[in-house]
Chain A
């Protein structure tokens, strides 16, 4: 079965760029979606279709996808970006989530 691999944690200094990866076999051939989940809150879609931002999501959030790795990039990281981030793909009419990455801004 298809699997998505994310690093458990990523740290970034305020104002710097955070990069969160999502690995999967030939993931570049799939559409990848990303969610942000802050403690005690429901997930929020921040990137869909590899690179697209829903309305209301800051331009600081961007995505890319090629080969075996999809990437979520957060530019000019802020304290408010601290959250868990999950990648997601569709597989055989079902959703697969990555294990999640905890982003710490320090």
Chain B
């Protein structure tokens, strides 16, 4: 079964750092783009960025460029989303998702076919 399993809930203080994970299984992890999506409480989906594990090609949404870092460790089929200094406004659910076509080029013909269960992040003093 193809699945993405995310790390558990996090409670942090403003200014702290954080790295959450997304482990893929049941498929060739290196061959599929992995994206990250934010959903603030009661709000819609926001795109953060995407990475191709095969060559670490990373594309950030302009809204999140410089605010987060996306990376992978292919040896353990895991993608990461990290912050160096959290803000209260980072409180949200974060999802990872796999782009459905196995290609290093970022084609626009396909959506995100497999999603993680989400990692809730709470930032509060």
The chain A residues found within 8 Å of chain B, CB to CB, are 30-31, 33-35, 37, 42-45, 48-49, 54, 84, 86, 88-90, 93-100
The interface size of chain B toward A, counting residues with CB under 8 Å, comes to 26
Minimal beta-carbon separation of A24 from chain B (angstroms)? 14
Q: With CB as the reference atom, state the residue of chain A lying closest to B112.
A: A45
* Cβ of A83 to closest chain B Cβ, rounded Å: 13
- Residues of chain A within 8 A (CB-CB) of B115 are 42-44
Alpha-carbon separation in the docked complex, A3 to B111 (Å):
18
Give the shortest distance, in Å, between A54 (CB) and chain B (any CB): 6
CA distance A33 to B117 in the complex (A): 20
Known: A95-B47, A100-B45. 8 other contacts (CB 8 A): A43-B45, A43-B95, A43-B115, A48-B100, A94-B47, A94-B49, A95-B61, A97-B46
| A94 CB contact (under 8 Å) in B62, B95, B118 | B62
Please report the C-alpha to C-alpha distance between residue A97 and residue B48 in the assembled complex, in whole angstroms: 11
A54 with B106, Cβ < 8 A, contacts A95-B47, A97-B44 known: no
| Across-interface contacts of B61 in A (CB, < 8 A) | 94-95
Residues of B within 8 A of A34 (CB): 111
